[in-house]
Structure 1
Amino acid sequence: MTVIDCRDPGSWGAALDEAVHALGRGALVVLPTGTAYGVAADAFSPTAVDALAAAKGRGRVAPPVLVPDARTVDGLCTDVPDEVRALLAQEWPGPLTLVLRAQPSLAWDLAPDGTVAVRSPDHPAALALLRRTGPLAVTGAHRAGGAPATTVEQAREQLGDAVHVYLDAGPLDGGERSTVVDATVTPARVLRPGAVPADRLATVLDAATGEGDA
């Protein structure tokens, strides 16, 4: 287990090298995701995703997938409506998780029902890592039923040696969790309220579809 300070962007080279190598070996990495720490695995490695579930202490549940930017979505998802792209343009990176239809050709098993939840995290260190690794399966860096970790110390207390690399970005603000939107239906609907208010989502969606025109 290695803890690496990544508060200084000047240190990201070595820190991210270690994290990239660990993920490539199927190991787990804790990283800042905005308001709390998450634990990440290679999204295309069933063994790594199984290790993610074991670290959480729960059965296998398809975790959200974090991506560096909206351009990555087309490689993972299909049938993305224009109004959803408008949401991505306004709210990413940030606390908005979108459930979309997964590309059927992908060599992974994170979409057993044909959908995948995707988000672009609002933390520069996480985005820098994702630009090097590509999509990562990420869930909260805490045991099932435990409190979200807003410091690396809290994540270590819960996950311990199950994680190979901890990227320490200092204390996070522990703000409201992401809003989850089902974008596989029309109109899109909120599955879980969160940091992005429903009225702001509605404004963007209505403007993109022309329904907000007088």
Structure 2
Amino acid sequence: MVHILPISDPDTLAAALEVLRRGEPVAIPTETVYGLAADATDPNAITSIYEAKGRPRFNPLIAHVSDMEMAKAHVVFSPLAERLAEAFWPGPLTLVLSLKESGKIHPLASAGLPTAAVRMPQGFARDLIAAFGQPLAAPSANRSGRVSPTTAQHVADDLGDRIGLILDGGPCRVGVESTILAVDGTHLRLLRPGGIAVELIEAAAGTVVERAPAQTADDKIIAPGMMASHYAPENPVRLNVSQIRPGEVLIRFGGTAIAGEEQAHAIMDLSPSADLREAAANLFDFLKRADAPGATGIAVAPVPTHDLGEAINDRLSRAAAPRD
């Protein structure tokens, strides 16, 4: 049976460290979503993440660090990468950088690539990594391809029969995963939109962020969250709707009414005031709640594409993608 411990309990840190040192995964809160964390240098610990999630091993993991010293022990920072880390770390930005030969991030975490994705989270997760003394690989704490968790209960509902410990830090503040950037010299490439808007990154970097598929020439995925079908509820998802079909759950935005909504199974509004930050924080929780018994599907109203709207629309398009 899974144990859920609040991070406010002074004994929780020690309990989590004990599990991590046994090479087992722990579900931890971050500012973005809950992560399933294990030692990024231990192949057995990394395997336990893949097994708990049912995640394909060609899909790399993010290595979470507590400080720049830990990050620089494993990956190579260009001046531009350092500038971005200084501007946005700790926070919801992941940098894909070349691995150091002397680094200890295991190839299972990087999917055998010459690069690794690294991030410095905020809050308790950072304290846990510092106390552990090694990077923690921590993809979202859900079964692979499903909706990411933003509360401890979400994790328990999805993985409670597969893991032993969940740390409860309350609802995640950001609510969508980190923005992922590949940094190659002076060039930036967006691999996944996320919790930091591209406009802010470009302002800090003084250069344009290119948008390109997060795959190599031989179709290897080089960043998490880039599979076509991802973040998927059980019920089918329709996007940018202007008309509701009977029995659908409606997820709308900005308080705007949608034709036929009186026939909806339920109605939710990501942000009645059209605040994209509020919408991002609510997105995954609403998708989970909309996946309700008796509903015929999930209909999502248009959401603006600027700022955090880019990340919201990215997650929605993957939730609505055809499934294997």
Tell me, yes or no, whether TM beats 0.5. Answer: yes
1:82 aligns with 2:82: no
Q: Equivalents in 2 of 1:140, 1:4: separation in Å?
A: 18
Q: Which residue of the partner structure matches residue 114 of structure 1?
A: 114
Deviation at 1:179, TM superposition (A): 1.0
Q: Is the 8 A contact 2:53 2:143 kept in 1?
A: yes
1:73 counterpart (53, 71, 74): 71
Q: Is the 8 A contact 2:34 2:141 kept in 1?
A: yes
Deviation track 1:109-168 (CA, whole Å, cap 9, x = no partner) reads 23311100001112x111110111121010001111211111111101111242222111
Runs of 4+ in structure 1 over 3 Å off: none
Q: Which residue of the partner structure matches residue 153 of structure 1?
A: 153
TM-score by length of 2: 0.59
Give the alignment of 1:1-214 within 5 angstroms: 1-6=2-7, 8=8, 11-12=9-10, 14-60=11-57, 61-78=59-76, 80-107=77-104, 108-109=106-107, 110-111=109-110, 112-122=112-122, 124-133=123-132, 134-173=134-173, 175-206=175-206
Look up the equivalent residue of 1:96 and give its one-letter code: L
Q: Equivalents in 2 of 1:51, 1:99: separation in Å?
A: 23
Deviation at 1:105, TM superposition (A): 2.6
Deviation at 1:174, TM superposition (A): 5.3
Q: Is the 8 A contact 1:30 1:39 kept in 2?
A: yes
Q: Equivalents in 2 of 1:172, 1:43: separation in Å?
A: 23
Q: Equivalents in 2 of 1:147, 1:194: separation in Å?
A: 15
Q: Equivalents in 2 of 1:197, 1:58: separation in Å?
A: 27
Deviation at 1:95, TM superposition (A): 0.8
Q: Which residue of the partner structure matches residue 319 of structure 2?
A: none
Residue aligned with 1:86, SS = helix
Q: Is the 8 A contact 1:70 1:89 kept in 2?
A: no
Look up the equivalent residue of 1:38 and give its one-letter code: G
Deviation track 1:45-84 (CA, whole Å, cap 9, x = no partner) reads 1111111011111221321011112232210112x11121
Residue aligned with 2:117, SS = strand
TM-score by length of 1: 0.87
Deviation at 1:185, TM superposition (A): 4.8
Residue aligned with 1:183, SS = strand
Q: Is the 8 A contact 1:2 1:164 kept in 2?
A: yes
Judging changes above 3 Å, is the alpha-carbon distance between structure 1 residues 148 and 18 closer, same or farther for their aligned structure 2 residues?
same
Look up the equivalent residue of 2:31 and give its one-letter code: G
Deviation at 1:5, TM superposition (A): 1.0
Deviation at 1:169, TM superposition (A): 0.9
Deviation at 1:196, TM superposition (A): 1.5
Give unmatched runs, 5+ long, in structure 1: 208-214
Q: Equivalents in 1 of 2:188, 2:68: separation in Å?
A: 18
Identity of aligned residues (%): 33
Q: Is the 8 A contact 1:28 1:162 kept in 2?
A: no
User: Greater Rg, structure 1 or structure 2?
Assistant: 2
Q: Equivalents in 2 of 1:192, 1:125: separation in Å?
A: 24
Judging changes above 3 Å, is the alpha-carbon distance between structure 1 residues 116 and 88 closer, same or farther for their aligned structure 2 residues?
same
Q: Is the 8 A contact 1:70 1:92 kept in 2?
A: no
Judging changes above 3 Å, is the alpha-carbon distance between structure 1 residues 104 and 97 closer, same or farther for their aligned structure 2 residues?
same
The structure, 1 or 2, with the larger RCO (C-alpha pairs under 8 Å, 6+ apart) is 1
Q: Equivalents in 2 of 1:2, 1:15: separation in Å?
A: 11
The structure with the largest helix share of the pair is 1
Residue aligned with 1:188, SS = strand
